A and B are shown apart, each in its own frame.
Chain A
Amino acid sequence: AQSVTQLGSHVSVSEGALVLLRCNYSSSVPPYLFWYVQYPNQGLQLLLKYTSAATLVKGINGFEAEFKKSETSFHLTKPSAHMSDAAEYFCAVNSGGYQKVTFGTGTKLQVIP
């Protein structure tokens, strides 16, 4: 079984401030982990993925995430928020080769000018 918990359904940061979106996972086997971004009325775009290589994963738009097995976490960060980062972010986990992905409930990021 696999699951994902995203802490905080809404996060607000000032423009230029650090972005930290939290994700904890549960998996019975070593997982693959993903962060996706969704803009209003659009599909999902992959930001980055962890596939058991480097624990610090760099993605698009300046985002990165660190896989911490001991904490079962995969938090998403960005050093300096930009107005265009305002969107909804989903953490996701895949524990098996069936390609079935389980999504978290999402975190809506608001960037305050």
Chain B
Amino acid sequence: GAVVSQHPSWVICKSGTSVKIECRSLDFQATTMFWYRQFPKQSLMLMATSNEGSKATYEQGVEKDKFLINHASLTLSTLTVTSAHPEDSSFYICSASGQGTTGGISPLHFGNGTRLTVT
């Protein structure tokens, strides 16, 4: 089945620094990738949707200048948390859909998430 690899699985950074998270589709071309944020004991909140080669579409309330998303190829999307602060600490999960995935009506394939801790 389709595999989505997310890296790193966890990262600790100092306040004010930037952190990049990668999401790769390993065996299919991901025309669309989604980035979610999950707070402890809460559901997934969609942050943004990115289509290969175009600008990401951000959900209401998500700062596009703080959470930079790049989807330069059909197999890679990146999320960069700029000038991170402790309140950005969270679990970030990507998902991907596209050519080769079954039932392309939803983001069926998820990465394993990245635990970000900002100190």
| Contact of A84 with B by CB under 8 A | no
List the B side residues contacting A34 at CB < 8 Å. Answer: 106
| Contact of B8 with A by CB under 8 A | no
B102 to chain A, nearest CB (A): 9
Say whether, besides A43-B110, A43-B113, A99 and B44 are in contact (CB < 8 Å).
no
The residue on B at minimum CB distance from A93 is B106
The residue on B at minimum CB distance from A94 is B106
Task: Report the number of A-B residue pairs with Cβ-Cβ less than 8 Å.
Answer: 60
CB pair B108–A41 under 8 Å, yes or no, is no
* B61-94 contacts to A (CB < 8 Å): 91, 93
Cα distance A42–B112 in the bound complex, in angstroms? 5
CB pair A103–B105 under 8 Å, yes or no, is no
CB pair B106–A49 under 8 Å, yes or no, is yes
CB pair A100–B46 under 8 Å, yes or no, is yes
CB pair B106–A44 under 8 Å, yes or no, is no
List the A side residues contacting B103 at CB < 8 Å. Answer: 49, 51
Say whether, besides A90-B43, A90-B44, A104-B43, A99 and B113 are in contact (CB < 8 Å).
no
| Contact of A45 with B by CB under 8 A | yes
CB pair A44–B110 under 8 Å, yes or no, is yes
Q: Which of A41, A42, A51 contacts B105 (CB 8 A)?
A: A51
Cα distance A41–B9 in the bound complex, in angstroms? 9
CB pair B43–A106 under 8 Å, yes or no, is yes
List the A side residues contacting B111 at CB < 8 Å. Answer: 43
CB pair B93–A99 under 8 Å, yes or no, is no
Cα distance A97–B80 in the bound complex, in angstroms? 28
A–B Cβ pairs within 8 angstroms, 21 of them: A32-B105, A41-B91, A41-B112, A41-B113, A43-B4, A43-B95, A43-B111, A43-B113, A44-B110, A49-B108, A92-B106, A94-B105, A94-B106, A99-B32, A99-B106, A99-B107, A100-B46, A100-B49, A101-B34, A101-B46, A106-B41
Nearest first, the 6 A-B pairs at minimum CB distance are A43-B110, A44-B110, A43-B112, A105-B43, A103-B43, A103-B44
